[in-house]
Structure 1
């Protein structure tokens, strides 16, 4: 009788252990699968969603417009290095180039990260089928390139004032219509710095 009870107890224990092992394996597998799947579902789609949707059409238009606009300002500033007579004009031109070169790189980086095309080097004032405010015509650029000395300084500042006014107009549009905060911040910097440069050039021209 004792032997029989012992045998029954042993069999029951083995069965209980086997059942527990099955339950644990099932739970463990289910938890692992659910946890892994849950992680995949939440992490993967959210990454591109957070990378996108930060910019809108106004931000793209701002970047695509400001790149060729800045490039022309840099081209004008480079002419001043050899053609300007005034030290003040040369200094101003160097500051314009120093400020706008990095902005071109930043704007290009944004467009690339957004999956947008960066304007080509030869993109002109007719960018996107619309004349950009303040851009010099090829004739004006040719006239500037052929001038030197005091005449160059006067032409350079008169043209750059017009050019800056156009950039400020574009920057104000970005501030009111854009969604991408870094672009709106850059627009604010452009408005502040170029407004100050316009005032400076007007004083040098003796018109303020």
Structure 2
């Protein structure tokens, strides 16, 4: 009789322990599920946060800079293209080649930014690079240093030393406009890659302005002798 009661209590205690173990396992499983959910939620938000950090925030100035500098660069490249067949100076041809190689990739870079931001990329329609005010250094879009159609036609018709002088004179003004635009971007822009590109423009084109002024001085001394 005693043995039977003892066995019954043992079985009851084991059943209770088993029930407790099951309950504990369910609690742990629930906790684990919550942790997993939190981890999954973190995994879902983390890439977005990382993307935002990588892309960087931009403002209206960044958009304006890219939309203005793209046609500005396109006109410089168009002017540089003319030098291959019209310039007489090797130094002018070399400078034009460097301008083209530097600004073509920057056009593609800025176009990529605008597409990523959902903004319009300036059209490359024929003749659009001829807009601008030569005397005032600005046009209806406010881009400093752009040549007008008459300037571009005059450059296109020139050749030899006349082309060299005209090209250098125009490109100095064109570069000065680009430096002005880039300086504004450095001061007011928010997008890191854009302000970095603006800094590069200021550095490179300021050096090229100095180089072109020296070439103009040499050209002037030769023509006057």
When normalised by structure 2's length, the TM-score is 0.82
Q: 1:29, CA displacement in angstroms?
A: 2.5
Does the 8 Å CA contact 1:52/1:114 hold for their aligned counterparts?
no
Match of 1:73 among 70, 76, 79: 76
RMSD (Å), alpha carbons? 2.4
Q: Distance in 1 between matches of 2:200 and 2:48?
A: 34
Q: What is the match of residue 36 of structure 1?
A: 37
How far apart, CA to CA, are the structure 2 residues paired with 1:120 and 1:48?
28
C-alpha spacing 1:53/1:185, structure 2 compared with 1 (3 Å): closer
- Does residue 189 (structure 1) correspond to residue 190 (structure 2)? The answer is no
1: distance between equivalents of 2:122 and 2:33? 49
Shift of 1:198: 0.9
Residue 122 of structure 2 aligns to a residue whose secondary structure is: coil
The correspondence of residues 37-116 of structure 1 with structure 2, limited to 5 A, is: 37=38, 39-41=40-42, 42-43=45-46, 46-47=49-50, 49-50=52-53, 54-116=57-119
Q: How does 1:168-183 map to 2 (within 5 A)?
A: 168-183=179-194
Give the conservation status (yes or no) of the 8 Å contact 2:56–2:192.
no
CA distance in 1, matches of 2:121, 2:88: 35
Q: Determine the structure 1 residue equivalent to 2:178.
A: 167
Structure 2: which 5+ residue stretches go unaligned? 133-138
Structure-2 residue corresponding to 1:4: 5
Structure 1: which 5+ residue stretches go unaligned?
none
* Structure 1 residue 140 corresponds to structure 2 residue 151: yes
Which deviates more, 168-177 or 100-109? 100-109
Cα 1:47–1:130 change in 2 (3 A) is same
